[in-house]
Amino acid sequence: MNASAKFQSLNLATVTSLLRTKAFGRRLHLLDTTSSTNSEAMTLGQEGAEHGTVVIAEQQTAGRGRLGRHWFSPGSANLYCSVIVRRAPTEHRLSEWLSWLPLVSAVAAARAIQVVTNLLPSLKWPNDILVGHRKVGGLLCETGKSAAQGPFVVIGIGLNVNMDRDEFPSDFRDSATSLAAEVRHPVDRTVLLVSLLGELETHVDSLLQRQGSECINAYSPLCATLGRHVRVNLTDGQHLEGLADSIAADGSLQIIPNDSAARLVRIRAGDVLHLG
């Protein structure tokens, strides 16, 4: 890969001049190094940062995945981005909103990747972004609260953009990829970031108006998990194997367990392995 294209830095003025969003990225913090953009955004959110505030870092020293896992975040090659979302629907739709926000954000990220690279990413439930069977990105949504402005959500997105495959640590080298490795040329991170923030704002805004059933129509066609035999490692240490049947109105994954074809089991949280 061409080294100069690969390591071109993100530039605040350039990103800002290309943005076409109303709120997302209008307040943009571009950091060289941070522990985690989600942690930075959480702090800013608690201090009252406004809706759409974005934190980007060239490198994370303690990037976080779900359930306390680590997100590999080397410098100047990828995107590490966190957005503060302060909009929320009325009380009775709040839990639907919180369950769908990560899934809809994954749809937005997949769409941005498609627009910028022509690749056709898919999603592993709940919100892994895949190219082929390899993971090119992931999402971590966290909720916080500030004294004056009330609750907020941080949408954190990590996308592997210009890394070579052999740069990944050996424990997930076979299951990870980058956009550049797939298209075989460097990908402009500025263009990707601008597209990502635009798609995110559109999808998050429309989630405010939509019912769960409408989200299913946007999410399901991209979901590579549906129709597959899967193993789900549940958060309580148990596991379940079966056929991934469908997405429920609340964003849960519905499985037909191997040991009981007669019932559907709803999974709200867990890790999915595609078995076949």
Question: Among the candidate windows 43-51, 66-74, 244-252, 257-265, which touches ligand BT5 by CB under 6 A?
Answer: 66-74
Nearest CA to 77 out of 166, 175, 172 is that of 166
Shortest approach of ligand BT5 to residue 230 CB, angstroms?
A: 15
- Cα 110 → chain centroid: 9
* Site string (24-63) toward ligand BT5, x via CB under 6 A: ------------xxx---------------------x--x
**Footprint (CB under 6 A) of ligand BT5, residues 81-110:** 81-82
Order of strands across the sheet that contains 229-234: 265-267, 253-257, 239-247, 229-234, 270-274
Two tokens, residue 41: 């955004």
Listed in sequence order, the residues at least 6 apart from 196 whose beta carbon sits closer than 8 Å to its beta carbon are: 79, 81, 108, 109, 112, 157, 159
Do the beta carbons of residue 119 and residue 132 sit within 8 Å? no
Pick between residue 37 and residue 201 the one whose CB is nearest to ligand BT5.
Answer: 37
Under the binding rule (CB under 6 A), the answer on residue 176 touching ligand BT5 is yes
Minimum gap (Å) between residue 145 Cβ and ligand BT5: 19
* CA dihedral sign, ordered 165, 168, 170, 174: negative
Q: Which of 26, 29, 65, 269 binds ligand BT5 (CB under 6 A)?
A: 65
**Angle at 102 (CA atoms; ends 145, 125), nearest 5 degrees:** 145
Instruction: State which residue has the least CB distance to ligand BT5.
Output: 138
DSSP 223: B
Q: State yes or no: residue 139 binds ligand BT5 (CB under 6 A).
A: yes
The residue within the footprint of ligand BT5, chosen from 52, 102, 121, 158 (CB under 6 A), is 158
Q: Which range in 137-145, 186-194, 231-239, 244-252 contacts ligand BT5 by CB under 6 A?
A: 137-145
* Size of residue set near ligand BT5 by CB under 6 A: 27
Q: Is 135 in the site for ligand BT5 (CB under 6 A)?
A: yes
* Residue 156 binding ligand BT5, by CB under 6 A: yes
- Residue among 23, 28, 80, 86 that touches ligand BT5 (CB under 6 A): 80
Cα 37 → chain centroid: 13
CA distance 139 to 127: 6
> Using CA atoms, how far apart are residues 155 and 229, in angstroms rounded to an integer?
29
Residues 216-255 that bind ligand BT5 (CB under 6 A): none
Applying CB under 6 A, the residues found at the interface with ligand BT5 are 36-38, 60, 63-67, 69-72, 80-82, 128, 135, 138-140, 156-158, 160, 172, 176
